[in-house]
Amino acid sequence: MDQFAPYPAVRAALAGFSTQLSQMIDLCIQVQQIAAPTDEEDVRAAWVADYLRRLQLAEVSTDGQRNVYARIPGQRATPALFVSAHTDTVFPLATDLTVQVDEAQSRIYGPGIGDNSTGVASLLMLAATLQRLPPPPVDIWLVANSGEEGLGDLRGMKAAVDRLQDCIGACIVIEGMGLKRVVHRGLGSRRFRVTAKAPGGHSWSDFGTASALHVLVQLAAELTQLQPPATPRTTFNIGRFYGGASVNTIAQSAALELDLRSEGPAALQGIVDATLAIVQRYQSTAWQQQGVSVEAVTIGDRPSGEIADDHPLVHAAFRSLAHHNVVANTQMRISSTDANVPLSRGIPAVCIGITEGANAHRLEEWINPALLPVGMQHLLTTTWWAAMWLAGEVK
């Protein structure tokens, strides 16, 4: 980009990524080989912290949420830039993490290779690159955060923004896949676990006694009749349903887990209210007289937020893609990512990808390694431009 004329070293670093493909692939696989289920990111976080310390970055530290922090000192401290990638995956500790390379199709297969081992590896490569460059226009905080997946509820990002929000002016969130997209709208969601308890008993001798499963089946049937608005797009999903002891036991307890999402905060609150109204009907005296109790507990609250399509940070990310000859997907602007947290607090943020791939959250997940150098060019371009923007050097 023309704005980088005062920074010839940045231009040289961008060109240098084209010769570092093997190093990038190795780093992605090294990260991927360290199991890191949500809430069990300790080993991967320790490895990342050690890597950053070996780079001799400033203020490398961890917190109680398994987040790892490091700072690239800039020409001025604030407003700083925050760049992050989540360390957790959806796969249990016992998952076989064997990687398969298909050179003919330019694919690397492996659980979590794209989401988000490639993102973490890219954060580390960015750290190494920035460490070799002159001081950026502002401080850059690099954060490998926990708890993005599943019931992690973005807790790592929430803790990191709590810690740094007084000094940061913008955020860039890295995902391993999705190179062609720029997400700047945070899709809000609420998640509930609805639990039913009842007397239960033997399926023959106690027939007629209230069953927690029967109660919850009726409640779930009502949930499936919810009528969310088409605009803004609003959805619901019962993702899990479990309970009971055996086929011939009247269940004493049962639970379901429900995911509610919406592009609009008011619409999300509307479907939350409708859901809780259904639950409340099963908390009536009539059900209590049968020994039935029903409770809904929040197990996830991902806040929504956004910046406009014409925000300078959004424009910069799209211009970066064009500059590096990537045809952007301009329709993919909303998603549920770590960017939700800063966006919900009024901090400009975008989520960008490093390469393309598919089958996220499946054992056969894969990435296209050939795009890694372009993805790193995109990441460094967007990062350095954002630092310049925060320093008032560009508009």
As a whole number, mean pLDDT of residues 71-78 equals: 97
Q: What is the pLDDT of residues 22-43, one digit of tens each?
A: 999 999 999 999 999 999 999 9
* 95 pLDDT higher than 70: yes
What single DSSP character describes residue 314? H
* 258 pLDDT higher than 90: yes
In the chain, % of residues over pLDDT 70: 100
As a whole number, mean pLDDT of residues 271-278 equals: 98
Identify the band that residue 1 occupies on the pLDDT scale cut at 50, 70 and 90.
low
Written as one string, the DSSP assignment of 119-136 is HHHHHHHHHHHHHHSPPP
As a whole number, mean pLDDT of residues 54-73 equals: 98
Structure tokens at 137: 């226009």
Identify the band that residue 332 occupies on the pLDDT scale cut at 50, 70 and 90.
confident
Residue 123 CA: distances (Å) to CA of 51, 72, 117: 11, 12, 10
Residue 68 CA: distances (Å) to CA of 107, 160, 223, 236, 383: 29, 9, 40, 34, 19
Q: Is the dihedral of CA 354, 359, 360, 364 positive or negative?
A: negative
Give me the pLDDT at residue 331, please.
84
Other Cβ atoms less than 10 A from the Cβ of 22: the count is 10
* 330 pLDDT higher than 90: no
Report the residue count for the chain: 395
Burial 261-273 (b: 16+ CB within 10 A, else e): bbbeeebbebbbe
Q: What is the pLDDT of residues 143-174, one digit of tens each?
A: 999 999 989 999 999 999 999 999 999 999 99
| CA separation for the pair 293, 184 (Å, rounded) | 42
Q: Is 9 exposed, middle or buried (0-12, 13-18, 19+ CB in 10 A)?
A: exposed
3-class DSSP state for residue 174?
A: strand
